[in-house]
Structure 1
Amino acid sequence: MRAVAAIVLIVLLLYAAACVALFAFQRTLIYYPQPNSYGGPADTLILPSDVRVTVRPHAGPKALLYFGGNAEDVSANLASFARAFPGYAIYLLHYRGYGGSAGKPTEAALHADARALFDKVHQDHPQIAVVGRSLGSGVAVRLAAERPAARLVLVTPYDSMAAIAAAQFPYFPVRWLLTDKFESARHAQTVRVPTLILRAEHDDVIPRVSTERLHASFAAGVATQVVIRGAGHNSISESEQYLDAMRAVL
């Protein structure tokens, strides 16, 4: 009996240690900072938090704010977005720790920087389209719920980061351990601006059911879903349908 008790104790201690490790290193599993590969000082806006934003200036009422994936260099979108949306000023936010931005990424920090960017841009551009991809879809949904966006586009979005993590680590109390939960479905309930959801047909990162739950969270008539055929989670932007679908609503 003592041997069995000792084995049970060891298993429990190992399980507890694994939980502590998951809690301590959770943000290294969410965020993968990337350098800024495109543009230079002339194309960069710096927020008070010392966060960098790659910019294509353009006079007029319209602007596009973009929040990228967890391992994305958002500046790589500058040329294609500038061609696809010639009537828009373009703002691509580098999360804290990404692309020369100071600090470390957290959910609270990402939301704070998104609000700061929106408020600054809104002074010159009253019609702001908010675009979020993958991780950034959670930033975009909440921003559209809290600020007067004109349009919202969500690329490969999820209903909840906590739900995604719980599915990936089913034997751990992830919902209790996770600090950055990105509860997009909860914020989607209060969004009232026209919203486009772009889902990759062969998304191997965000389960289809997660995107469907997010879609169902919007009020009736607010969100429209388009499936990008043949695309995967990371390859969706390579499809011709990707920018075409965005142009149709922007």
Structure 2
Amino acid sequence: MPRKLIILSIVLLAAYVGLCAALYLAQRSLIYFPQRSSKTNHPTLTLAADGAQVRVTVQQRDGVNAVIYFGGNAEDVTASLPGLSAAFPDHTLYLMNYRGYGGSTGSPSEAALVADAQLLFDEAFRSHKNITVVGRSLGSGVAVQLASQRPVSRLILVTPYNSIQELAQQQFPYFPVRWILRDKFESWKYAERIATPTLLVMAEHDEVIPAASTHALYGHFAKGIATLTIVPRAKHNDISNYPAYNQLLRTPP
């Protein structure tokens, strides 16, 4: 092999390795987009979680019913409170602000978010024995893991994915995402363990989560456990603006 070709190969390999390293270091900034809370004076619950202070927006109501909500990767969950309040009028609402979001301290990661979700469920379960868990987009990966490990009464997954690893591989097809990615959110692994009535809600024109990804996740649930529904005309970020979406949340399994 000519010397110039060897040198070029080495340069290209070094550049590729450098890009892989840069992707590895920046990966969480490509997954999580922390938002400040739109309301600073709303009632909150603060969880002490492994050195972090996790802020949970709460709307208290009497009774045993509760909803725990996990939002998208760029969502201010407190802004979702009015819609959830209307959909679940007789439920206490717990909306978790991920680490780094909405006044919570610390940095988000898959392990941290799932651990915080378990802590929140255990806290809520002391007062509420009938807990519906709702996970939207990124939050669907948190919700499905929680439902596989705790006695959730009902699970609702909004614009869910089969795994973030698969989505990332589609976005970066020439990189070894399998080896680089730390937060894989492989929801399919947990779906098959769930015995709770589950609703998967798709947006007809979702431009973020491919329909094939949601259908793949649906296929991993045991027969008779999950239902898949599409909200007509909806896109990924505006699905909650459609009356059909709110009706789905209200409808019991």
Q: Same fold (TM over 0.5)?
A: yes
Determine the structure 2 residue equivalent to 1:46.
46
Contact 1:159 1:185 in 2 (8 A): yes
**1:203 pairs with 2:209:** no
Contact 1:67 1:92 in 2 (8 A): yes
Determine the structure 1 residue equivalent to 2:4.
3
**Cα distance between partner residues in 2 of 1:209 and 1:246:** 23
Letter in 2 for 1:202: H
**Cα distance between partner residues in 1 of 2:55 and 2:144:** 21
Determine the structure 2 residue equivalent to 1:131.
134
**1:177 pairs with 2:180:** yes
Letter in 2 for 1:89: T
- Three-state SS of the structure 2 residue aligned to 1:132 is strand
Letter in 1 for 2:91: Y
**Cα distance between partner residues in 1 of 2:191 and 2:26:** 29
Q: Which residue, 197, 212, 216 being the options, matches 1:213?
A: 216
Determine the structure 1 residue equivalent to 2:91.
88
Provide Cα deviations, 1:9-52, integer angstroms capped at 9, x if missing partner.
11100000000001111000000000000251x51110112100
Provide Cα deviations, 1:52-72, integer angstroms capped at 9, x if missing partner.
000000110100000000000
- Three-state SS of the structure 1 residue aligned to 2:24 is helix
**Cα distance between partner residues in 2 of 1:209 and 1:84:** 28
Moved more, 167-176 or 79-88: 79-88
Aligned CA RMSD, in angstroms, stands at: 0.9
Determine the structure 2 residue equivalent to 1:69.
72
Determine the structure 1 residue equivalent to 2:19.
18
In the TM superposition, what is the alpha-carbon distance from 1:78 to its structure 2 partner?
A: 1.1
Moved more, 187-196 or 75-84: 75-84
**Cα distance between partner residues in 1 of 2:162 and 2:38:** 31
**Cα distance between partner residues in 2 of 1:227 and 1:82:** 22
**Cα distance between partner residues in 2 of 1:46 and 1:204:** 34
In the TM superposition, what is the alpha-carbon distance from 1:73 to its structure 2 partner?
A: 0.2
**Cα distance between partner residues in 1 of 2:83 and 2:231:** 18
Q: Whose helix proportion is higher, 1 or 2?
A: 1
Letter in 2 for 1:13: A
In the TM superposition, what is the alpha-carbon distance from 1:97 to its structure 2 partner?
A: 0.2
Letter in 1 for 2:180: L
Determine the structure 1 residue equivalent to 2:238.
235
- Three-state SS of the structure 1 residue aligned to 2:200 is strand
Letter in 2 for 1:175: R
Determine the structure 2 residue equivalent to 1:55.
58
Contact 1:39 1:75 in 2 (8 A): no
In the TM superposition, what is the alpha-carbon distance from 1:102 to its structure 2 partner?
A: 0.6
**1:153 pairs with 2:156:** yes
Q: Which runs of 4+ in 1 moved over 4 A?
A: none
**Cα distance between partner residues in 2 of 1:202 and 1:80:** 21
Moved more, 30-39 or 133-142: 30-39
**Cα distance between partner residues in 1 of 2:142 and 2:191:** 11
In the TM superposition, what is the alpha-carbon distance from 1:105 to its structure 2 partner?
A: 0.1
Letter in 2 for 1:79: P
